Amino acid sequence: MLLPFFTDHAFDFSARTALGHTGLGVGDVGMAVGAIDETTDGDAMSWYTAWHGRAERLRRDADAARAAGRLGTAAFLYLGASGFHDESLAFVDGMEDTSLLLPTFRAHRAAWDAFVACSDGRHLPIDLAYEGVAMPGYLFRPDASGTPRPTLVVTNGSDGALSGLWATAIRPALDRDWNAVVFDGPGQQTLLFERGIPFRHDWEAVLTPVVDTLVARPDVDEHALFGYAISQGGYWLPRALAFEHRFAAAVVDGGVVDVARSWNVNIPPPLLALLRAGDRDRFNEAISSGPADPVRARTFAFRARPYGGETPYDVFSAVQRFTLDGLTDRITTPLLITDPDDEDFFGGQSRELYDALPGEKEIVRFTAEQGANRHCEAMARGLVGVVMTDFLGAHLPAGASLT
């Protein structure tokens, strides 16, 4: 079994995630190991400094390569810079000065946009309509020919960056000669940090307009649409699939039937009773009467921000809506669910979702022996990529790409 990189559980998980992403080309493993080695266990600022410094060096080298016309080199370096800038923000909620978030996020997105721009026309930024708002999206294509192709439509998790989706979804799709589409939805990245738009539980209101836009494009095969979702997206995508039936097949990595469980476990039963009784004032009073802990307060504020709400009661009440209760019998899309050992946040929910689905379904266990345990199989993204695209490829319509 792989020994932990840090005794701090969250730091260890983030280190594994970063290393897993390097295996699919988001930076190099040596630079990631160097950042891990320079980090003081549990020290949020030392983590930020180690990753941010390397991101800036990658960005400077990418700028030089781009100026010299070496676009392939520049693209590799910009992708690494984007990913490392994102990694630097993993523990921003633990830092006393959270003002670093917005400029660092902008540096991450600038490097990502430069990576896309260096693709010689293969990859494109696209706007995706959502209730009068243009969600920033990106279409990744194997080439710039405009040939209609099977297209993987990706729903991100609660706080993941687009650069992470290169390893978890985009690269596996491109390796099959498919398109991939990623975007920032409500409560995610640009829509949260730049525009203050919170999550919404009814993801069909987000995903259906995305599909409407994509099927009108000549480079998208409207009969070969696939869905993929990671982390908390494992709730959002099944929720949308209860209403949106144009996907040939989908993958959730892993399954989530009730987001609130991971929140409710952190409050004592008397407080949970107040929440369920709708007693806003007494709930807020009880929360505020506890011992002051500035670190926990910052963490709660950061995690609560995407849900909106003015008080803890408002936030916890909003989270309770993120459930598939009463909806799973409406999901008819063939669905693969990943089920990693040692799941960090949604333990047992992949199996619960699988058991509740009425139609074609498959569940795949990933183990520590494979190096594929813990949330989102952080260090086995290559393995997960081929498993999920094998499942999706088995549902391609006749005449579509079979790579």
Domain positions in the chain are 9-116, 122-259+322-393, 261-319
Which pLDDT score, from 0 to 100, does residue 83 have? 98
Over residues 257-262, the mean pLDDT reads 97
Q: How confident is the model at residue 2 (pLDDT cuts 50, 70, 90)?
A: confident
How large a percentage of the chain has pLDDT more than 70? 99
pLDDT digit string (tens) for 296-353?
788 888 889 999 999 999 999 999 999 999 999 999 999 999 999 999 999 999 999 9
Work out whether strand 335-340 and strand 249-253 pair parallel, antiparallel, or are unpaired: parallel
**What distance in Å separates the CA atoms of residue 95 and residue 43, rounded to the nearest whole number?**
9
Which pLDDT score, from 0 to 100, does residue 401 have? 54
Q: Average per-residue pLDDT in the chain?
A: 95
pTM of the model: 0.96
What is the CATH number assigned to the segment(s) 122-259+322-393? Answer: 3.40.50.1820
Over residues 378-403, the mean pLDDT reads 89
CB atoms under 10 Å from CB of 193, counted, come to 16
Residue 402 in this model has a pLDDT that exceeds 70: no
Q: How confident is the model at residue 98 (pLDDT cuts 50, 70, 90)?
A: confident
**What distance in Å separates the CA atoms of residue 89 and residue 84, rounded to the nearest whole number?**
9
- Tell me the sheet residues that pair with 140: 180
Which pLDDT score, from 0 to 100, does residue 252 have? 98
Residue 1 in this model has a pLDDT that exceeds 70: no
What's the one-letter identity of residue 402? L
Structure tokens at 167: 């390893």
What's the one-letter identity of residue 400? A
Q: Which residue has the higher pLDDT, 62 or 1?
A: 62
Q: How confident is the model at residue 292 (pLDDT cuts 50, 70, 90)?
A: confident
Q: In 3-state terms, what secondary structure has residue 241?
A: helix
CATH architecture group of domain 9-116: Up-down Bundle (1.20)
Which residue has 């040692």 as its token pair?
Answer: 342
Q: Please report which helix (H) or strand (E) contains residue 183, including its range.
A: strand 179-183
Give φ, ψ of 243 to 5 degrees: -120, -30
Structure tokens at 4: 């932990």
Over residues 57-83, the mean pLDDT reads 98
Over residues 370-379, the mean pLDDT reads 96
Q: How confident is the model at residue 173 (pLDDT cuts 50, 70, 90)?
A: very high
Over residues 374-378, the mean pLDDT reads 96
Task: Yes or no: say if 209 and 129 are a contact pair by the CB < 8 Å rule.
Answer: yes
pLDDT digit string (tens) for 104-161?
999 999 999 999 999 999 999 999 999 989 999 999 999 999 999 999 999 999 999 9
Let me know if the fold of 9-116 is the same as that of 122-259+322-393.
Answer: no
Q: What is the three-state SS of 78-129?
A: HHHHHHHHHHHCCCHHHCCCHHHHHHHHHHHHHHHHHHHHCCCCCCEEEEEE
How large a percentage of the chain has pLDDT more than 90? 91
Work out whether strand 179-183 and strand 149-155 pair parallel, antiparallel, or are unpaired: parallel
Which pLDDT score, from 0 to 100, does residue 166 have? 98
Q: How confident is the model at residue 189 (pLDDT cuts 50, 70, 90)?
A: very high
